[in-house]
Chain A
Amino acid sequence: MNRTRTCLSLSLDHMLIPVTFVDIYGVNSLLLSPMTRLLKAPSKDAVRDVCVQSHRAASRRLAEATAATLNISTAQAAQLVHSLHVLSHHVVFHSLSSPEQILALFPASFHSSLKNLITKILLENSPTWRTEAAGDHISVPQLKHVDWRVDMVTGSDSLSRMSVPTCLVQLQVDDPCPLAGGESVSTVMVELSRESLDTILDGLGRIRDQLSVVAGK
């Protein structure tokens, strides 16, 4: 019980539970036992809601809402939400895909139909959660959108009559971790001459060839 209490005080002070807690405390029976409170849920959909929302963040607001739905204390709701959060992240981390693997995590004495319901909900949602996690990882700014136009330059200060095509490319880049005060979405405008565009296509073609070699393996 002491161990669970420490987890609890940290979860109320910091809105998000760091995933390292899964490693430190592991998924064990002590962690999962608060989930029996879900037996008080008014419907299966209510259980599903709590599970899905806990995955995103084990926040105080969620604990309060859950306490109201299940008619339990906020402290008990916080424990419940924390357990669900840790369990769902464990399932995603280890890519558990069969019901047996998830059922094995519960203590033997756990309520059988609740166990099955929670397992079913976790299996339903884990592909979505997995895709979200894959897209949401740390990275350099990501390219969101590409726009281009080709202009014909017909005059300049060094040649009053000319006809030289030039390409303008607008790249919309989304920075998931902007610097303090910095912008999240930035737009870059780049001008390319014919030769530059040819060189770029050369490079991109080489990437494509290498990718098809890798994909073929």
Chain B
Amino acid sequence: MQQLTEFAGEHGMSAGPLRNLMKSVLLVPQGALKKNLSGEQIKDDLVTLGLNEDKATHFSQQWSEHYAALSRLAVAHTLMVNQLVDMEWKFGVTVGTSEIQKTGNIFLQLKLVVRRGNSTENIYMELTLPQFYNFLHEMERAKASMECFS
């Protein structure tokens, strides 16, 4: 938005119409990204839409160069349910309780910050040592499974 306003200022036009114009223009690359079009295909489309040959070639060159980055950005926008935002942990030793005067059990506490819609929710939980090792084991298996796919 900032860049648009500056651009409008430099070339002596008002920002409002320019913004609307850009919105419509952006529909083309967005659609192209959605359909995973190659550089060639985009050039053909632009020419069909009425853009002249040189400009279309230039655009399709830029497109090919930046396609990977644009795809990555699009993936980041993909819907994620209850996405994990942050994980904090602490572990320690229970020294005593009202039931047992002297004890030495290790505990681990995790705080998971999960995105629910626009806000985040904190989830607290405690694990015993065997549970921790089990959790670690399961996460390593999940990671191994993910690696299979790439």
> Which A positions have Cβ atoms within 8 angstroms of B?
19, 89, 92-95, 130, 133-134, 136-143, 146, 148, 150, 152-153, 156-169, 171, 173, 188-194, 196-201, 203-205, 207-208, 210-211, 214
Given contact pairs A19-B98, A134-B103, A188-B114, A148 touches B84 in the complex (Cβ within 8 A): no
Assess the B99–A156 pair: CB atoms within 8 A.
no
Given contact pairs A94-B101, A189-B81, A143 touches B142 in the complex (Cβ within 8 A): no
Assess the B129–A211 pair: CB atoms within 8 A.
yes
Assess the A164–B127 pair: CB atoms within 8 A.
no
Chain A residues within an 8 Å CB radius of B34: 157-160
Assess the B74–A159 pair: CB atoms within 8 A.
yes
Chain A residues within an 8 Å CB radius of B108: 207
Once bound together, how far apart are the Cα atoms of A168 and B134, in whole Å? 17
Count of chain B residues near A, Cβ 8 A = 57
Count of A-B residue pairs with CB < 8 Å? 158
Assess the B100–A146 pair: CB atoms within 8 A.
no
Assess the A146–B138 pair: CB atoms within 8 A.
yes
Assess the B75–A211 pair: CB atoms within 8 A.
no
Chain A residues within an 8 Å CB radius of B102: 95
Q: Is B27 an interface residue (CB 8 A)?
A: no
11 contacts between A and B (CB under 8 A): A92-B99, A133-B99, A139-B107, A150-B149, A153-B78, A158-B77, A162-B71, A173-B125, A188-B114, A189-B82, A200-B84
Assess the B78–A137 pair: CB atoms within 8 A.
no
Residue from the list A93, A168, A190, A197 in contact with B114, Cβ < 8 A: A190
Residue from the list A137, A162, A211 in contact with B99, Cβ < 8 A: A137
Once bound together, how far apart are the Cα atoms of A195 and B144, in whole Å? 13
Assess the A143–B126 pair: CB atoms within 8 A.
yes
